[in-house]
């Protein structure tokens, strides 16, 4: 009996020793960030800015959410740039601009690039600032000036009057891998030099309205005030700039996005050498291709960027790219989804001749395009693309011709008809709505209601065709399943 108990004790001690040993191995294999923090903390700075803003109508004093405030990202996500959801002016009246002006402060992060005082941060941290103060780890507060910025990539280069500053080491974001450990240092909610760690969740993320940055996604805790701070690898090198979070509450929810340092340093180099950032431009507006659209374009699988608009006098128009083409390859780069194309074009040197492969009516076509410089936002907004009522029972649509005034207002020349009504049927199932302007059905431009009626009668029953519509100022392709019968 005693011998049996002794054997059981030996077994339990062996199991316990194995458990403790395994736990020590696991703990020993986890990275130790203490040395990284000690070596890099001094190069991370707090950035505070002052902006002159107008008090929003209806907000009591002290309750305003000014531009650049750590909570402003949350309010902008729900209410737009004005912090309102009603499309009215700052004074609460349509088109108004009343309200008292006052100074407000906001916080962000940044890091020292070199010992001479160049500091890198996000552009949105210093946007519209009347004063920028950089606080160093030794508690010195120094005024900074903006050397240059690039709004499209959200990068800003600052300069402070100081020498022999501790600077970060710049790594290569092209070498990081999904799953590797990374560390952020910043000032969330104003708490200077806060450290958070995690892993790289994904690479090359494309976010809505951010066409020129292949973001690094991490699960590192990033909160308001972290913007502009560095993302380090285990070698103590900066591989990214913490820029955005995805949140429904305004706080961290496990999805953080950083600008790759390779992108940022290219921007900084152009700012220093040219005074501005130059990107390539193709001159098309695009849409993603889903399964139904792929079928309508006679493609085997959904991929590429569907061209919904070709801008006038653009490189694409000059080369012969057409609305309805699907771009599947740009030079040597395969376009898996629409977000891949702007990034590839933007990184192409101006003047380069690139072979662009498109799918046109189910067949591959290669077009040589000479890339031009991307215009400024205000210039790009001005770029334009190149009566009767008929009931179309087959699709359940009522349509009418556009008046000359409507064509002029919409920037349309020869094509397009207005949807005036819709019944149950294929068109409603596809997502077409009253007020939409139908520009193209299948591969055919829609000139007027008579031609549209003729095109609809010839649609193959049971097949899926693409319909290009304009809704407001945006264009999109919809996949329409043609009903059986006529």
Mean pLDDT of the residues in the chain: 81
Domain boundary residue, one of 208, 240, 274: 274
> Per the domain annotation, does 460 fall within a domain?
yes
Query: Can you give the pLDDT at residue 106?
Result: 78
Find the mean pLDDT for residues 206-227: 85
Which are the catalytic amino acids? 124, 154, 227
What's the pLDDT band for 462 if we cut at 50, 70, 90? confident
Q: pLDDT digits over 151-183, tens only?
A: 999 999 999 999 899 999 999 999 999 999 999
Q: How many structural domains does the chain have?
A: 4
Asked whether the predicted pLDDT for residue 150 surpasses 80, the reply is: yes
Asked whether the predicted pLDDT for residue 327 surpasses 70, the reply is: yes
Q: How many other C-beta atoms can be found within 10 angstroms of the C-beta atom of residue 334?
A: 13
> Per the domain annotation, does 1 fall within a domain?
no
> Per the domain annotation, does 11 fall within a domain?
no
**Which CATH number is 99's domain given?**
2.40.10.10
Tokens of 15: 């199991």
Q: pLDDT digits over 231-243, tens only?
A: 999 999 999 999 9
Check whether residue 53 and residue 153 sit in a common domain: yes
Judge if pTM exceeds 0.75. Answer: no
**Which CATH number is 394's domain given?**
2.30.42.10
Q: pLDDT digits over 118-131, tens only?
A: 999 999 999 989 99
Query: Can you give the pLDDT at residue 122?
Result: 95
Asked whether the predicted pLDDT for residue 2 surpasses 80, the reply is: no
Domain boundary residue, one of 357, 381, 405: 381
Domain boundary residue, one of 381, 413, 438: 381
């Amino acid at each position: 009996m005693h011998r049996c108990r002794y054997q059981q004790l030996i077994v339990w001690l062996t199991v316990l020793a194995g458990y403790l040993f395994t736990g020590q191995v696991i703990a020993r294999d986890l990275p130790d960030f203490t040395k990284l923090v000690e070596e890099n903390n001094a190069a991370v700075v707090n950035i505070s800015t002052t902006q002159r803003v107008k008090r929003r109508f209806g907000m009591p004093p002290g309750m305003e959410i000014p531009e650049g405030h750590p909570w402003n990202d949350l309010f902008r996500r729900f209410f737009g740039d004005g912090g309102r959801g009603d499309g009215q002016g700052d004074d609460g009246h349509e088109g108004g601009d009343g309200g008292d002006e006052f100074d407000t402060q906001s916080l962000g992060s940044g890091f020292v690039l070199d010992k001479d005082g160049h500091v890198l941060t996000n552009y949105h941290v210093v946007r519209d600032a009347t004063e920028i103060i950089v606080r160093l780890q030794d508690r010195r507060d120094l005024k900074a000036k903006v050397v240059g910025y690039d709004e499209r990539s959200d990068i800003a280069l600052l300069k402070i009057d100081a020498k022999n500053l501790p600077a970060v080491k710049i790594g290569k974001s092209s070498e990081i891998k999904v799953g590797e450990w990374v560390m952020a240092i910043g000032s969330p909610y104003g708490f200077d030099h806060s450290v958070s760690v995690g892993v790289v969740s994904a690479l090359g993320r494309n976010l809505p309205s951010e066409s020129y940055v292949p973001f690094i996604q991490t699960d590192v805790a990033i909160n308001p005030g972290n913007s502009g701070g560095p993302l380090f690898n285990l070698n103590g090198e900066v591989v990214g700039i913490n820029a955005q979070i995805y949140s429904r509450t305004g706080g961290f929810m496990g999805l953080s996005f950083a600008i790759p340092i390779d992108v940022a340093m290219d921007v900084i180099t152009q700012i220093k050498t040219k005074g501005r950032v130059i990107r390539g431009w193709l001159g098309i507006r695009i849409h993603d291709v889903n399964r139904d659209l792929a079928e309508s374009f006679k493609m085997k699988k959904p991929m590429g960027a569907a061209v919904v608009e070709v801008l006038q006098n653009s490189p694409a128009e000059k080369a012969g790219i057409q609305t309805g083409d699907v771009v599947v390859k740009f030079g040597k780069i395969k376009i898996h989804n629409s977000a891949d194309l702007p990034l590839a074009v933007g990184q192409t040197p101006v003047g380069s001749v690139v072979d662009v492969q498109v799918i046109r009516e189910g067949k591959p076509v290669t077009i040589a395009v000479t890339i031009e410089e991307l215009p400024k936002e205000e210039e790009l907004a001005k770029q334009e693309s190149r009566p009767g009522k008929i009931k179309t029972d087959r699709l359940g649509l009522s349509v009418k011709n556009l008046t000359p005034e409507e064509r002029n207002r919409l920037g349309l020349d020869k094509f397009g008809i207005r949807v005036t009504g819709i019944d149950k049927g294929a068109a409603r199932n596809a997502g077409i709505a009253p007020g939409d302007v139908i520009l193209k059905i299948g591969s055919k431009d829609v000139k007027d209601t008579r031609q549209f009626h003729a095109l609809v009668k010839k649609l193959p029953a049971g097949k899926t065709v693409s319909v290009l519509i304009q809704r407001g100022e945006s264009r999109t392709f919809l996949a329409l399943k043609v009903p059986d019968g006529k």
